[in-house]
Amino acid sequence: MSLVKVIPLGGAGEIGKNCTAVIQGDDMILVDVGLSFPNEEMFGVDIVIPDFTFVMENRDKLKAIFLTHAHEDHVGALPYLLDQVKVPVYTSEFTHAMIRNKLEEKLDVRGLKLETLNPGDIVEIGSLKVESIRVTHSIPSTTCIAVGTQHGWVLFSSDFKFDFTPVDGKLSDLSRLTKLGDEGVVCLLSDSTNAERPGWGPSEKMVAAGFHRVFTQAPGRVLITTFASNIHRMQQALDVAHATGRKVSVAGRRMEQTLDICSRMGYLRIPADTFIKLDQTTNLPPHKLVILTTGSQGEPMSALVQMSKEEYSRMRIQPGDTLIYSARPIPGNESAIWRTVNRLFRMGVHVVYDAPTPVHVSGHAYQEELKMMINLTRPYYLAPVHGEPRHQHLYREMALQMGYPDHRIFTMVDGRPLEIGETNAELGDPVPCGRVLVDNAGNAGVTDEVLRDRSSLANDGIVIVTVALDVDNGEVIGSVGVDAKGYSGNDAALRQCAEWVWDALRNLKKSELQDVDFVRHTVADTARRCMIKKAQLRPLVVPAVLEV
Ligand SMILES: [Zn+2]
Ligand SMILES: [Zn+2]
């Protein structure tokens, strides 16, 4: 029997860009192809995707891609991979519908093999068997992916919670998970996002009470911001609005698209006479309105952020409006979110973000739910993923307390294969792995050098040092010019910079002055040293060597 390899290419030791390869012999599949969001130091970076070098090196083995659910951290990098390899993509009807627009924006979808794998379906891929099992989460049709290997089931929990009163009435398939345990789960790759939270997470249905309280008490319009994909949350806003005599409208392109797709497919039920277009909202008294809006992560182009800057042409904020912040900040977005919330407060908006009756609940399992997943499926090995190292660590502690021996719990790291054999498993040698930064125009491959330059520019400005060079004779012509933009240091340092460069060039040999690259390097290096010493700044230094 050969080794079964499970290789996270993203999503292990981090929350984001989930992508894991499973390999048995000559068959490889990928589970999820997600993106993550840049941190605040990544200037001009729109999204971060996994480095697909390993996939491309093994492209002849890659048979299919499976998607657990339609959240960006599980599907967002798919267009970038499908641009390079054309393999079938299996996921639920709902997830396909949710990702189709994004695929169409970047690719010709006619050449793609988009295969439906609804909860409960099984498909054979070479020597592997893949089954989709329904779990509850904050988006419909979320599924565990169980991969049948020669050593037993490798089970991807996906993002999950055990919600016994789900908004759409579709429960986690506990009986199939239990049977899977009977058949033998060799390894569970589990969500560990909420490993810090003891007890059971509240049901999504709890949010209805929070909405009801605000809808009945707010004197004017109620705005709700949440993730554009949170259909259950939108459903509850629609239902509570209907019950309290308010009408609902939507601001923000992504949310409008989601509402349109989901209501057409029957995943969202719009109560009669409840939905109105945004431009009709002015005909109604404010206390009869609820407006769902994008912008829960403080995205600069979102409807809510534009409203908070009075730049949204379709709707204006009014004093007396109430905003429900019905989401959790993704790490890295906090300051953009609070800036938006503060602007709204200044405009006379009452923002509800931490109410005694919750207006947001997590879609991820708390500790007791994580234990329940383990108890149902009884895996031999445990591998916490979808968490930062602190979450993985706490998951390990929890499993140890449940009696799992240390050697059967693996703290997964991006790029380290978990190699499962007949009688043991271990972490193997690293494979090529990393991150690729995509800029605002969609270009993949913003390098670390580009990021460093942007960081210098943003922090300390730019200094351009101009030198005219007679290359044939190896002579500097005229004086050294120094120009600065976005620079806040003293002018004396700039003058000294010109002097330092002039002295450095005077000390070069004739042959060195005939080498333009050498001169460029000397100019940049000298100017940089001068700026650090004389201005205590590190601006981006650009040497402009003119050959005359
Ligand atoms: Zn996720
Ligand atoms: Zn998710």
Q: Please, how many CA atoms are within 13 Å of residue 96, restricted to the half-sphere of its CB? A: 17
Asked if 454 and 525 count as a contact pair (C-beta separation under 8 A), the reply is no
Distance CA 190, CA 11 (A): 11
Residues 94 and 195 placed together within one structural domain of the fold: yes
What are 326's two structure tokens? 């019905």
What letters, b where the CB count within 10 A reaches 16 and e where it falls short, cover 1-38? Answer: eebbbbbbbbbbbbbbbbbbbbbbeebbbbbbbbbbbb
Q: Phi, psi (5° rounding) for residue 476?
A: -85, 130
Tokens 């794998």 found at:
117
Residues 28 and 85 placed together within one structural domain of the fold: yes
What are 400's two structure tokens? 């140890």
Q: Of 321, 352, 383, which marks where a domain is finished?
A: 352
Q: Of 439, 464, 490, which marks where a domain is finished?
A: 439
Dihedral angle of Cα 223, 229, 230, 236, to the nearest 10 degrees: 60
Q: 414: Cβ–Cβ under 8 A, 6 or more apart, which residues?
A: 8, 9, 10, 11, 12, 13, 14, 433, 434
Nearest ligand (C-alpha, residue 191): 1
Q: Please, how many CA atoms are within 13 Å of residue 264, restricted to the half-sphere of its CB? A: 10
| Mode of pairing for the β-strands spanning 89-91 and 114-116 | parallel
Q: Of 439, 463, 480, which marks where a domain is finished?
A: 439
- Residue 350: helix, strand or coil by DSSP? strand
**In residues, how long is the chain?**
548
C-alpha 74 – ligand 1 centre gap (Å): 6
In a domain, 357, yes or no: no
C-alpha 69 – ligand 2 centre gap (Å): 7
Nearest ligand (C-alpha, residue 362): 2
In a domain, 56, yes or no: yes
C-alpha 386 – ligand 1 centre gap (Å): 7
Residues 431 and 376 placed together within one structural domain of the fold: yes
Asked if 362 and 328 count as a contact pair (C-beta separation under 8 A), the reply is yes
Q: Is the dihedral of CA 290, 296, 302, 308 positive or negative?
A: positive
In a domain, 521, yes or no: yes
Residues 317 and 391 placed together within one structural domain of the fold: no
Residues 381 and 246 placed together within one structural domain of the fold: no
Residues 184 and 229 placed together within one structural domain of the fold: no
In a domain, 426, yes or no: yes
What are 76's two structure tokens? 């967002």
Nearest ligand (C-alpha, residue 73): 1
Name the H helices within 361-515.
367-377, 389-401, 448-460, 491-506, 510-513
- Residue 483: helix, strand or coil by DSSP? strand
**Residue 8 is part of a domain; what is its CATH number?**
3.60.15.10
The strands making up 322-325's β-sheet, listed across from edge to edge, are 247-251, 289-293, 222-225, 322-325, 350-352
Residue-level pLDDT, tens digit, the chain, 548 residues: 689 999 999 999 999 999 999 999 999 999 999 999 888 788 889 999 999 999 999 999 999 999 999 999 999 999 999 999 999 999 999 999 999 988 998 898 888 999 999 999 999 999 999 999 999 999 999 999 999 999 999 999 999 999 999 999 999 999 999 999 999 999 999 999 999 999 999 999 999 999 999 999 999 999 999 999 999 999 999 999 999 999 999 999 999 999 999 999 999 999 999 999 999 999 999 999 999 999 999 999 999 999 999 999 999 999 999 999 999 998 888 999 999 999 999 999 999 998 888 999 999 999 999 999 999 999 999 999 999 999 999 999 999 999 999 999 999 999 999 999 999 999 999 999 999 999 988 888 888 888 899 999 999 999 999 999 999 999 999 999 999 999 999 999 999 999 999 999 999 999 999 999 999 999 999 999 999 999 999 999 999 999 98
pLDDT at 519: 95
In a domain, 279, yes or no: yes
Distance CA 402, CA 385 (A): 18
Q: 178: Cβ–Cβ under 8 A, 6 or more apart, which residues?
A: 376, 377
Which residues are tagged catalytic? Answer: 191, 364
pLDDT at 1: 67
C-alpha 229 – ligand 2 centre gap (Å): 10
What are 432's two structure tokens? 């090529």
Asked if 191 and 387 count as a contact pair (C-beta separation under 8 A), the reply is yes
What are 95's two structure tokens? 């997830």
Number of structural domains in the chain: 3
Residues 114 and 193 placed together within one structural domain of the fold: yes
In a domain, 340, yes or no: yes
Residues 20 and 72 placed together within one structural domain of the fold: yes
**Residue 524 is part of a domain; what is its CATH number?**
3.10.20.580
Q: 405: Cβ–Cβ under 8 A, 6 or more apart, which residues?
A: none
Q: 49: Cβ–Cβ under 8 A, 6 or more apart, which residues?
A: 10, 17, 35, 76, 77, 80, 435, 436, 438, 444
C-alpha 195 – ligand 1 centre gap (Å): 14
C-alpha 191 – ligand 1 centre gap (Å): 8
C-alpha 159 – ligand 1 centre gap (Å): 5
What are 283's two structure tokens? 């005909």
Residues 29 and 160 placed together within one structural domain of the fold: yes
**Residue 281 is part of a domain; what is its CATH number?**
3.40.50.10710
Residues 113 and 185 placed together within one structural domain of the fold: yes
In a domain, 485, yes or no: yes
In a domain, 398, yes or no: yes
Residues 185 and 241 placed together within one structural domain of the fold: no
Nearest ligand (C-alpha, residue 15): 1
What letters, b where the CB count within 10 A reaches 16 and e where it falls short, cover 115-152? Answer: eebebeeebebeebebbbbbbbbbbbbbbbbbbbbebb
**Structural domain that includes position 520:** 448-547
Asked if 295 and 303 count as a contact pair (C-beta separation under 8 A), the reply is yes
Name the H helices within 116-168.
none
- In this structure, the number of other CB atoms found within 10 A of the CB of residue 314 comes to 14
Residues 510 and 391 placed together within one structural domain of the fold: no
Helix (H) or strand (E) holding 340: helix 334-346
